[in-house]
Structure 1
Amino acid sequence: MDAQDQNWDDYRLFLAVAQAGSLSGAARLLGVTHSTVFRRLAAFEDRLGVRLFERLPSGYVLTAAGEAMEVATTRIDDEISGIRRQIVGQDHRLSGQIRITTTDMLAIGLLPPYLVAFRREWPGIGVELLVSDMRLDLMRREADIALRLGNPLQETLVGRRVGRLAFAVYAARGVQVGEDLIAQDWIGFGSAHAPLRQALKDWLPDLRPQFRTNSISAAVAAARAGIGLAALPCAIADPDPQLVRIAPFPDNFGLDLWLLTHEDLRHTARIRAFVDFMTEVLAAKADLLEGR
């Protein structure tokens, strides 16, 4: 069968495997099962009559044929994504669906009440929340809007700084905490939270956490359970009746909150409505976000 007769979804699946380097990673990107990716990739290679990947213990590696296909397919996918963005960007309706991506910390600890308020304000706009520590590609419309920490601006994206998230040290209410913070049990973080890890290291260089997690939400739960002290966002920990603030960070450590979208979508009515709404409500909560 000629390649032009293939379903474009097969090429997108191929790109997902090439990007992730594994079937499980591609499955997460596409929102399907591992077995679905395995079956469809095998059938795709059979129809093309060429092997696109070498199956190695370390993962799926492109063959020479696969590398050539990746270059061509990526170019076409970028063009298709650009056309879609331009079409959506002409949409002036205050209705339809928007896809928002953010981390579990913000999705669980910060956003829910504001999403409820947004839905009351704009009942015609549906919201899909994609929770991932992986940065979904706004250029390919894996999401329409991203709420991210730090300063993540990049070419072709436009954004607004909508607040600053302050951090402090917290413990479970009722736990006795001595003056020597180093002597306490601590909850540490993985590489996904590099700025926070570095701030802790600069402040307490001899700190050796007894428990680690790659999730702020998991750290909140662990701190509630009394596993140890944790550096947590004030906006999430201060309202929690099971937690008490133990100490501030030196130098008022915090991370900026950014709302991002692709420049082609900035004038889409439903996306602009969400960005404007979130900018306003988060500005009104500046004291909470900044730990005051």
Structure 2
Amino acid sequence: MNAQGQDWDDLRLFLAVARAGSLSGAARALGVTHSTVFRRIGAFEERLGVRLFDRLQGGYDLTAAGEEMRESVLRIEEEIAALALKVTGQDQRPTGTIRITATDFLAQALLPAHVAAFRAERPGIEIEAIVSDTVLDLTRREADIALRIGNPGQEALVGRRIGQLAFAVYAARGRAGDPGTGDWVGYGASHGPLSRAMARWWPGMRQVYRTNSITAAQAAARAGIGMAALPCVLADRDPGLVRLCPLPEPFALDLWLLTHEDLRHTARIRMFLDFMGTAVQAEADLLEGRRPLGQVPAVD
């Protein structure tokens, strides 16, 4: 196998199927169609003259040859990612693209206003926001910067805590209720720390609607389905919601800004990290919920 681009594309495709265990999962990860993955993986096996996957009813399982290839391809992927990080880390030009990963509500509540202000200062830098609740791997260059709730503690990542996200109980205007007896928009098993705390505070709470998305919970509360525990930075800016009460106990989640250690000296990455850290810390009152009940600050 040579080192031409098409061969690496085939290896990336092979890894995507191996990781997902299905053609549809690989297609979503790569942003291509199911039929494209089916066609290309078959052509790849035909060129190699070996079957890499067993086609089973439940998905695609690696054969013995596929297992051996996966180990080799993972090493190649690590080397390519490391090389890309080192090369990018030497770039001192205040231009280019920064790929930022964030959850849906952080991408809505925090990023837009600050990205607009940043680009007003640095028009040569473009921003790509990857909105996902999945934790992307910065060591594999799935993104350059992560705006995350909590620090994953990965050895190769560097960053800092830039704030804390406070939560409170919200409902649609004119739909006030008793948290102990009223209807709730809940998170089910998702958002573990918050869900566990809510179950402890209100053991008999009636969750009439559940979602794994904070922005979906915000929309449901605004529609009048029930009360919801929401981040103040998101809900206090929503004119369709009113803050009913604080949580029974102090509850906040740390907000982190992270990048790979090989990228932190890249000019555009360093500029954005410094700008975003300062800008978010200036919003501490909003992040930490220090607003009078019922006050709705203007959206920036």
> Which bracket does the TM-score occupy, shorter chain normalised?
over 0.9
Shift of residue 202, structure 1, vs aligned partner: 2.0
CA distance in 2, matches of 1:192, 1:28: 22
In structure 2, relative to structure 1, the CA distance for the partners of 1:99 and 1:192 (3 Å cut) is farther
CA distance in 1, matches of 2:105, 2:33: 25
Do the aligned residues in 1 keep the contact of 2:185 with 2:227 (CA within 8 Å)? yes
CA distance in 2, matches of 1:56, 1:206: 44
CA distance in 1, matches of 2:176, 2:166: 24
In structure 2, relative to structure 1, the CA distance for the partners of 1:208 and 1:67 (3 Å cut) is farther
Do the aligned residues in 2 keep the contact of 1:157 with 1:263 (CA within 8 Å)? yes
> Quick one: which of 255, 262, 265 aligns to 1:264?
262
> Partner amino acid for 1:43?
A
- Give the corresponding residue for 2:24: 24
CA distance in 2, matches of 1:103, 1:23: 26
Do the aligned residues in 2 keep the contact of 1:109 with 1:217 (CA within 8 Å)? no
- Give the corresponding residue for 2:217: 219
- Give the corresponding residue for 2:112: 112
> Quick one: which of 230, 242, 245 aligns to 2:243?
245
In structure 2, relative to structure 1, the CA distance for the partners of 1:14 and 1:191 (3 Å cut) is farther
- State the secondary structure of the residue aligned to 1:186: strand
> Partner amino acid for 1:40?
R
- Give the corresponding residue for 2:34: 34
Q: Aligned-residue CA RMSD in angstroms? A: 1.5
- State the secondary structure of the residue aligned to 1:123: coil
In structure 2, relative to structure 1, the CA distance for the partners of 1:247 and 1:54 (3 Å cut) is farther
- Give the corresponding residue for 1:130: 130
Aligned length: 289
- Indicate yes or no: 2:53 matched with 1:56: no
CA distance in 1, matches of 2:38, 2:264: 37
- State the secondary structure of the residue aligned to 2:271: helix
Do the aligned residues in 1 keep the contact of 2:218 with 2:230 (CA within 8 Å)? yes
CA distance in 1, matches of 2:212, 2:234: 17
- Give the corresponding residue for 1:93: 93
- Give the corresponding residue for 1:283: 281
- Show the 5 A alignment for 1:145-164: 145-164=145-164
CA distance in 1, matches of 2:205, 2:63: 46
- Give the corresponding residue for 2:298: none
Q: Report which of the two has the higher share of helix.
A: 1
- State the secondary structure of the residue aligned to 1:257: strand
CA distance in 2, matches of 1:120, 1:8: 38
Identity of aligned residues (%): 65
In structure 2, relative to structure 1, the CA distance for the partners of 1:166 and 1:83 (3 Å cut) is same
Shift of residue 291, structure 1, vs aligned partner: 0.3
- State the secondary structure of the residue aligned to 1:228: coil
CA distance in 2, matches of 1:190, 1:30: 30
- Give the corresponding residue for 2:293: none
Do the aligned residues in 2 keep the contact of 1:95 with 1:124 (CA within 8 Å)? yes
Do the aligned residues in 1 keep the contact of 2:45 with 2:52 (CA within 8 Å)? yes
Gaps of 5+ in 2: 291-300
- Show the 5 A alignment for 1:185-196: 185-196=183-194
CA distance in 1, matches of 2:60, 2:264: 37
In structure 2, relative to structure 1, the CA distance for the partners of 1:186 and 1:154 (3 Å cut) is same
TM-score (norm 2): 0.92
TM-score (norm 1): 0.94
Do the aligned residues in 1 keep the contact of 2:182 with 2:206 (CA within 8 Å)? no
CA distance in 2, matches of 1:140, 1:202: 39
- Give the corresponding residue for 1:201: 199
Do the aligned residues in 1 keep the contact of 2:183 with 2:205 (CA within 8 Å)? no
Gaps of 5+ in 1: none
- Indicate yes or no: 2:72 matched with 1:75: no
